[in-house]
A and B are shown apart, each in its own frame.
Chain A
Amino acid sequence: MTKTRFFFIAPLLVFLVMVGYFAIGLTKDPSVLPNMLEGKPVPEFSLAPLQGRDDIGFKNTDLMGDVTLVNVFGSWCVACLIEHPFLMAIKAQDLIPIHGIDWREEDRTAGPLWLKKHGDPYTRAGDDPVSKAAIAFGVTGAPETFLVDQKGIIRFKHVGPITEPIWRDTLQPLIEALRKEGAS
């Protein structure tokens, strides 16, 4: 008798397990992609300098020796403009060097003009018109920011604009920990 009862209950149990799986699945955001590069060295890249910016371009070896942020931006990117004042504040307080990857500008003057208009928070900046560096970094959209340690290893990636809570709760503590790690 109990056996028969089990046969009747089994489909319901299977159904409930499936509901459980789907319920978990629904809470996941499919646009959040796995971060493949965390803990790995910065990919090899070498970008030309932005026009009018007397810099010597930006390449992966520039990221050795210091804890830095690499920020992917573009003059076409609305969210980058939201983030921009925050980057300027970081620069003004000299909290950490920020390097920029000017991603996918149609026009070679668009990025430099944008920086001239809104301010230039970047120590180094490279022009990435065909996503060479962006793809190497696994970038899917701008802005995206990578925290790189002294050995040139990517320690953290943030997708979307950097905001006060993200800086205070995540980036700043991580940066301090990395600096201590490097000093010892």
Chain B
Amino acid sequence: MRLFFVFLLATLIWSPSGHAVNPSEVLKDPALEERAREISKGLRCLVCQNQSIDDSDATLAKDLRVLVRDRLSAGDTDEEVVGYVVSRYGDFVLLKPPFNAATLILWIGPFLAVLIGLIAIVFFFRRNSRQHAVGTVAEPLSEAERKRLEALLLENDK
């Protein structure tokens, strides 16, 4: 029974993560294969658009995986391989959008929103405390007001 759990745990730990790479596609050089896997994870499958080509079973994804590996084997750098695919399919093929003019709002938008929020908070508290400060140094009561106040207090004491 204990052995069973050890086995179960082992299969959980060493089970291959869900990817679609065929054994026949895998490169002999493990370092190169590792690079190919990293690149593939960042490239969108054009057929099933929310999967990477590393995850997808689509035939076009398979051909793209093979292309990535062919290019790496031919001595291309990672950037050159990705650059080639982008030159064919556009930035869209990158699962992580690049930082450029078209994606500026996407990248800095959240930071901008937080900044605006912080500024709003600062303004809000500043204004509040200023109002309080004004309240403490209020004008002294006029003669008429003082008399009325005394009258009221007297009435209260009765």
Type the 1/0 row for B104-138, where 1 means its CB is closer than 8 Å to any CB of A: 00000000000000001001100000000000000
In the complex, which residue of chain A has the Cβ closest to the Cβ of B91?
A34
Check B67–A135 contact: CB distance below 8 A: yes
- A137 with B88: in contact, given A104-B59, A130-B66, A131-B63 (CB under 8 Å)? yes
Residues in chain B near residue A165, CB distance under 8 A:
none
User: Contact mask A120-134 → B, CB, 8 Å, 1/0?
Assistant: 000000000011001
* Residue from B47, B86, B88, B124 within 8 A of A135 (CB atoms): B88
**B89 to A33, Cβ gap below 8 A?**
yes
CB distance from B97 to the nearest CB of A (A): 13
Q: Which listed residue, B60, B123, B124, touches A140 by the CB 8 Å rule?
A: B60
Using a Cβ–Cβ cut-off of 8 Å, how many residues does chain B contribute to the interface with A? 20
Q: Which residue of A lies closest to B86 (CB)?
A: A36
Q: How far is the CA of A22 from the CA of B91 in the complex (A)?
A: 20
Contact B49 A30 (CB under 8 A): yes
- Flag whether B95 is at the interface (Cβ < 8 A): no
Among residues 14 to 52 in chain A, which have CB atoms less than 8 Å away from a CB atom of chain B?
A: 30-31, 33-34, 36-37, 43
Docked Cα-Cα span, A143 to B64, in Å, equals 19
CA distance A34 to B86 in the complex (A): 11
With A135-B64, A140-B60 as given contacts, are A7 and B88 in contact (CB-CB < 8 Å)? no
Is A160's CB within 8 Å of the partner chain B? Answer: no
Report whether A140 and B89 are in contact in the complex, using a CB–CB cutoff of 8 Å.
Answer: yes
Render B39-71 as a binary contact track against A, CB cut-off 8 A, 1 for contact. 000000011010000000001100110110000
Q: Which residues of A contact B7 (CB under 8 A)?
A: none
CA distance A43 to B87 in the complex (A): 11
- Give Cα A131–Cα B64 distance, bound, in whole angstroms: 8
**CA–CA, A177 and B85, complex, Å:** 31
Residue numbers in A under 8 Å from B91 (CB-CB):
34
Q: Confirm or deny: B92 has a beta carbon within 8 angstroms of a beta carbon on chain A.
A: yes
Q: Report yes or no: B59 in contact with A136, Cβ–Cβ below 8 A.
A: no
* Binary B-proximity of A1-12 (CB < 8 A = 1, otherwise 0): 000000100100
How far is B59's CA from A140's CA once the two chains are assembled, in angstroms? 11
User: Are A138 and B92 also in contact (CB < 8 A) when A30-B49, A130-B66 are?
Assistant: no
Fill in one digit per residue for A85-118: 1 if any B CB lies within 8 Å of its CB, else 0: 0000000000000000000100000000000000
B90 located at the interface, meaning its Cβ lies under 8 Å from any Cβ of chain A in the complex: yes
Given contacts A131-B60, A135-B64, A31 and B89 within 8 Å (CB-CB):
no
The docked-state distance in angstroms from the alpha carbon of A17 to that of B63 is 42
Q: Which residue of A lies closest to B88 (CB)?
A: A138
A36 touching B90, Cβ below 8 Å: yes
Question: In the bound complex, what is the Cα–Cα distance between A138 and B92 (angstroms)?
Answer: 12
A34 touches B88 (CB 8 A): no
Interface centre among A30, A37, A104, A138 (most CB of B within 10 A): A138
9 contacts between A and B (CB under 8 A): A7-B120, A7-B124, A31-B49, A104-B59, A104-B63, A131-B59, A131-B67, A140-B47, A140-B89
